[in-house]
Structure 1
Amino acid sequence: MRRLASVAVTAGMGLPALALADQPIPWATNFQPAASPTMEHIGELSTILNVVIIAIMVLVTALLAWCMWRYNARRNPVPAQWSHNTFIEIAWTAIPALILLVIALPSFRLLYFMDRTQEAEMTLKVTGHQWYWSYDYPDQNLQFDAMIVSDDELQPGQLRLLTTDREVVLPVGVPIRVLLTADDVIHSWAVPSLGVKTDTVPGRLNETWIRIDRPGTYYGQCSELCGVNHGFMPIMIRAVEKQQFHAWADETRARFAQSQQKPKGGKS
């Protein structure tokens, strides 16, 4: 209801209301809704882990309660004594090993899945700076910097600490190779609803990938402590249909060609 109300208010102010746009919500207790297959798999793994954790908690609590009731001083004034129990020692070694195996198999499968894609249709290069992001679309011959919009420049409906002066526009349903680096210190490019969080390291080119499943605006931030303005490096991605993306790229190139400037992208 809160999300629907927010969209309604935004539409009422005459601003573009993108369906199911994802952003932090006060007092949220779960992940943001998944907008990529990677985030869907992360949610599934989280469910498996929570089931395992709850089962262990219930078992340990039950055993502790039974021991407190069965072996308290009133019921056993003279405690029984023994030194070894082969069955128990085998059990408390084998059961944790099985639990770790149950956790490890889907974890490794997810790590390999989210590492990189062999079917990328386009590439986005991200460079971290103190304290802003640079984006390069090598396939579209576009480059621009994206900086935070300060509090005194925010427009109605824009999110504090999450809005940038230029949006990263990406197509929906397209596997996108993301290359990441930095030119000063280590940063981390993280967008929770897309399930991506990869460090940008000076002198190194890291790779990940995303495929956005639905249009909307997705927000993230730098997730690696990188200096005094670490908390002021937001990420703002606008996902549009493929035709709209190509139109945006063509319009942006034409705009900068007319101004005889190096392409730096911008909002359409």
Structure 2
Amino acid sequence: MKNKAIAGLTALGSLLLAQSAFADQPFDWQKGLQPAATSIMEEIRWFEQYTLWFIVPVTLLVLVLLAVVIVRFRESANPVPSRTSHNTAIEVIWTLGPVIALLFLAIPSFQLLTRQLAPTEEPELTIKATGYQWYWGYEYQEGEDPVSFDSLLLQDADRAAAGKEDRAVYPRLLAVDNEVVVPVGKHVRLLVTAGDVIHAFAMPSFGVKIDAVPGRMNETWFKADREGLFYGQCSELCGKDHAYMPIAIRVVSQDAFDTWLAAAATNVDEANKALMASVDGAEKSVAVAQTAAQ
């Protein structure tokens, strides 16, 4: 009985691990950034940890100085206050110290910003994302028959018809009816604009966040290093349904993407269902294989 219980828990754990490997999304009590799916996001995660080596000591130093001032220079312990008006050593320290710390922060920060906004590779796929109140419209600017569709929040009543009843993979308030589909390991250029008010396209796992401004075309890029289903949201307050404007990107193999793109040129819904069936079937096979290996 005990062995069966352990085997059951192992199988459940393997299934959960398999699902988490294919769908990146926020989770309850999350303390850090989402797992990186691009090299840019890896650098962002590194920079976050790097800055802590400056933030924590500075915070502790300020706390200690405040405690010293409160205790040593309180009125009861120091009835006659000091009339010191200048101290050259202190002036030099609190001027050079912050300058040096800021240089150590600024240099890698500028390098990261350059990498984010000035790619060194030529794009292999271009997608235009347009924000509306309150959904996204996408246009694939490739091929003889360009693909375009709208992506709206998936309603609970539509889950069964869409085949997206698994809330672990298609979570509430993040799942959409039509995901953006891109190939793994390819440089994707993303053109972002808006049709009404200011929105913002944010995909945490990709390290992408850029404003969508009416009348302006902003450009960013990403290259996903692994397959999976990734979720983001509009990150600019854009009206009453701002919280219901998710972004979903499905990263697949090049062959799967080519098949989807060809089918989507005539029928996006059917192409999505066929792609989802093939991907979900592969994920279930992985989960079963992991369980058997245990």
TM over 0.5: yes
The AA in structure 2 aligned to 1:41 is E
Offset, 1:102: 1.5
**Equivalent of residue 55 in structure 2, options 45, 53, 70:** 53
- Residue 233 in structure 1 maps to residue 236 in structure 2: no
Cα separation, partners in 2 of 1:265 and 1:37, compared to 1, 3 Å: farther
Map residues 79-158 of structure 1 onto 2, 5 A cutoff. Answer: 80-119=82-121, 120-140=123-143, 141-154=146-159, 155-157=165-167, 158=170
Q: Deviations over 1:118-138 (max 9, x none)?
A: 421111111111111111111
Cα separation, partners in 2 of 1:18 and 1:247, compared to 1, 3 Å: farther
Cα separation, partners in 2 of 1:55 and 1:20, compared to 1, 3 Å: farther
Structure 1 distance, partners of 2:222, 2:47, is 18
Q: Deviations over 1:66-124 (max 9, x none)?
A: 45565566766655542211111111111111122111111111111101424211111
CA contact (8 A) 1:129 1:184 kept: yes
The AA in structure 2 aligned to 1:132 is Y
**Equivalent of residue 235 in structure 2, options 223, 234, 238:** 223
What's the TM-score once normalised by structure 1's chain length?
A: 0.85
Q: Deviations over 1:193-213 (max 9, x none)?
A: 111111111111000000111
- Residue 199 in structure 1 maps to residue 206 in structure 2: no
What's the TM-score once normalised by structure 2's chain length?
A: 0.78
Equivalence for 2:40: 38
CA contact (8 A) 1:166 1:266 kept: no
**Structure with more of its chain in helix, by fraction:** 2
CA contact (8 A) 1:143 1:265 kept: no
- Secondary structure of the residue that 2:23 maps to in structure 1? coil
Equivalence for 2:284: none
Cα separation, partners in 2 of 1:9 and 1:133, compared to 1, 3 Å: same
Structure 2 distance, partners of 1:7, 1:166, is 28
CA contact (8 A) 2:35 2:205 kept: yes
The AA in structure 2 aligned to 1:127 is T
Structure 1 distance, partners of 2:137, 2:114, is 27
What runs of 5+ residues in structure 2 fail to find an aligned partner? Answer: 1-10, 160-164, 276-294
Offset, 1:65: 4.0
Offset, 1:33: 0.4
Cα separation, partners in 2 of 1:168 and 1:145, compared to 1, 3 Å: same
Number of aligned residues: 253
Equivalence for 1:28: 30
Structure 2 distance, partners of 1:215, 1:247, is 16
**Equivalent of residue 256 in structure 2, options 244, 247, 252:** 244
- Residue 8 in structure 1 maps to residue 15 in structure 2: yes
The AA in structure 1 aligned to 2:154 is V
Structure 2 distance, partners of 1:186, 1:226, is 6
Q: CA RMSD in A?
A: 2.4
CA contact (8 A) 1:117 1:177 kept: no
